[in-house]
Structure formats: structure tokens, C-alpha cells
Structure 1
Amino acid sequence: MQSVISYIGLGSNLAQPDQQLQDALRAIHGLKDTHVKQCSSFYASKPMGPQDQPDYVNAVVAIATQLSAGELLPHLQAIEQLHGRQRKSERWGPRTLDLDIILYGDEQIQSENLVVPHYGMKTREFVLYPLREIAPELVLPCGDSLVSVLKSVPKNGLEVIRKNVTWK
């Protein structure tokens, strides 16, 4: 099977978020038939849900993988669990690590476990701005350019906190 370029969103706001993302990058790079091609800077962002939680650290990583999206998802969930992720009923609450498949090639997937492109990507500054950093010419599977989508999404206080992120 030929490799597919996939974009994964990373986020954390508990237990040393910067280190959580760094460790997750290494774990993703170590997945079978997968390697990290590029990673955005790390960004500080305001919480999307309840405001009585710490700010987040977010990034987007481009990977080349021979795993299908359905095969990739449980690997990412296992990495989350290794980092102490506990799935709770509270949506958008604090978490040690959140890994989301944002895009998987040009595929559009609607299954019980997975929606790609990620259902909230077009409204989330903490996904779109890091994504633009590593894929400025990207055209989404729906035909919209990333640049055109960004025109209607303010930065909402998003700021770069770490550049030149490595994963080796």
C-alpha cells in the first residue's frame, strides 16, 4: 500500500502539556508503517469548553502512513491512554492528551467511530493556523482552500509558544 498524508491535531492542558505533545510526536513517529513528515509550532490557545481550566497547547502534525484511517485511530487512542487520557462525559474538558485525525488524504469518512475531515476543523483556530503553517496551499476534500476558510476564523488569542519542534 502507498503512504497517505494525514494531518493529526494534538492538544493538551494537563500534566506538562508541552511535554505531552513532544512525547506524543515521538510515539506517532514510532507507529508501524508511519512517520512524521512535519510538525507545526506549538501554540497556546484558550479552552474551547468550560473556561475554568488551563489554556491548551496545540499543534498539527503531518504524517505519511500506510495504515488506513480505521487502523490509525486505535493507535492514536492507545497513545492517548498511555499519556493518562481519561474519556469523561464532560465534552471539551481538561485532558492530558487529545489526538484527532483532522484529514486523511482526500478521503471523506463517516463512520460510527470516525469522521474525517474532523467535524470541527473549519471553526477551530487551534487547528487551522497550525495547519496553515505546515500546509499553506492545502485544499480540503470539500474543495475549499485552507486560506479561504481561515478568512472567517479569528485567532482568538492563539499564539506561538515554541518553534522548530522535533520528534526524533
Structure 2
Amino acid sequence: MSVKAILALGSNLGEKEETLVRAIGDICSHDKIVLRKISPMAITEAVGGPQDQPDFLNLVVEIETSLRPFELLHFCQSVEQKHHRVREVRWGPRTLDIDIIEYGSLEMDEPDLTLPHPLAAERAFVLEPWARMDPAAQLEGQLVSKLAEQADDFDGIIEFRDAPVVCA
């Protein structure tokens, strides 16, 4: 059985755009994942974590997958590791970050995975690209576009770029 899932990808170290494009390619390479939609890329100020971080490049993808939630989490973490993700400082600079925002309508709160993502409704750097990808998208019964407008970091979105062409 396939489930629609929303993943948020971000990078603020190295060749950010190349990293995101390659990461999406890695995601598409899994035989239990199909890429359905991809948002424009957003250049955003870093939110939280250490001061004076480089700007992030963020995007959101909609996938269809038959992986179970923890299988998807472990796969996403393996893609992060492939792109030299180092976990030293919480919300610190990183080559690649992949968060599972939604997994169908599943709600869960486990030590390693909470769904929907507990901070997604407050993060314009996730919400605004998602709303541009799917204007009708909802998170916990609210329009993603409205949540984006209310997010504290909405003014930290610097610009948008066209989505990369991957998995063609």
C-alpha cells in the first residue's frame, strides 16, 4: 500500500543546489518511492541554531511510498550521510537536512520520529515552498499557505528559484 508523504530538504553548506538536486535523485532511486511533486527552491535565512549561519536553500517534495515511517526515516538519514551530513550542533549548519513533514494522515510521537513534524506549522521555510507546490495543501486541517503567512520566519524568505529537473 502506498502513502503520500511530504519531505522537506535544506542545505546551507557547500554546493547547496547541487546537493539538493543529487539528494532528490537519491530519493527517486529507491524502488519504493515515486516523486510526485517538487516545490520551487527558497533561499531563506537560517532559523534557530548558532548565529551567523549561511542562508539555506530549501525545497519540499511530495512522494508516494510503500516504505513504513521508520524505514523512510532511515532511508532519508542514509541520503543525508551520503551527502556528508554531520550532527554536531542542533540546528547548526549542514550539507543536507531531510525532514519527514507528513506521512499520510499518520499521527505518532516516538523518540526518533514525530508525525506530523512538530515544528512544520511554524516554519515558513517549509510551508511557503509547500504552498507554492500545492496551493490546496493542508497541515492538520489548516491551509499551508495561511500557516506560512503567520510564521515568524516568513520575512526571512529571500527569494525563490525554479524547481530543479530531476528523476525525468
Q: What TM-score do you get using the length of structure 1 for normalisation?
A: 0.92
The 1:138/1:58 distance shift into structure 2, 3 A limit, reads: same
Partner of 2:96: 97
Partner of 1:59: 59
The 1:158/1:148 distance shift into structure 2, 3 A limit, reads: closer
SS at match of 1:103: strand
Tell me the alpha carbon deviations over residues 25-80 of structure 1, each in whole angstroms, 9 at most, x when there is no partner: 00011112101111111111101122322111000000011111111000000000
The AA in structure 1 aligned to 2:147 is V
Alpha-carbon separation, structure 1, partners of 2:41 and 2:145:
20
Alpha-carbon separation, structure 2, partners of 1:92 and 1:32:
31
Partner of 1:123: 122
Alpha-carbon separation, structure 1, partners of 2:94 and 2:40:
20
- Whether 1:152 aligns to 2:154 is no
Alpha-carbon separation, structure 2, partners of 1:113 and 1:76:
13
Alpha-carbon separation, structure 2, partners of 1:55 and 1:111:
30
The AA in structure 1 aligned to 2:127 is L
Alpha-carbon separation, structure 2, partners of 1:150 and 1:59:
14
The AA in structure 2 aligned to 1:74 is H
Preserved contact between residue 127 and residue 145 of structure 2 (Cα < 8 Å): no
The structure richer in strand per residue is 2
Structure 2 runs not aligned, ≥5 long: none
Preserved contact between residue 5 and residue 64 of structure 2 (Cα < 8 Å): yes
Alpha-carbon separation, structure 1, partners of 2:166 and 2:104:
22
Q: CA deviation at 1:145?
A: 2.5
Q: CA deviation at 1:12?
A: 0.4
Size of the alignment, in residue pairs?
A: 165
Structure 1 runs not aligned, ≥5 long: none
SS at match of 1:9: strand
Tell me the alpha carbon deviations over residues 97-138 of structure 1, each in whole angstroms, 9 at most, x when there is no partner: 000001111111211210111111111110000110112112
| Aligned-residue RMSD, C-alpha | 1.4
Q: What TM-score do you get using the length of structure 2 for normalisation?
A: 0.92
The 1:148/1:54 distance shift into structure 2, 3 A limit, reads: closer
The answer to which of 148-157 and 12-21 deviates more is 148-157
Preserved contact between residue 148 and residue 154 of structure 2 (Cα < 8 Å): no
After the TM superposition, list the runs of 4 or more consecutive aligned residues in structure 1 that deviate by more than 3 angstroms: none
Partner of 2:23: 24
SS at match of 2:154: coil
The AA in structure 2 aligned to 1:158 is I
SS at match of 1:51: coil
Alpha-carbon separation, structure 1, partners of 2:7 and 2:148:
18
Preserved contact between residue 43 and residue 160 of structure 2 (Cα < 8 Å): yes
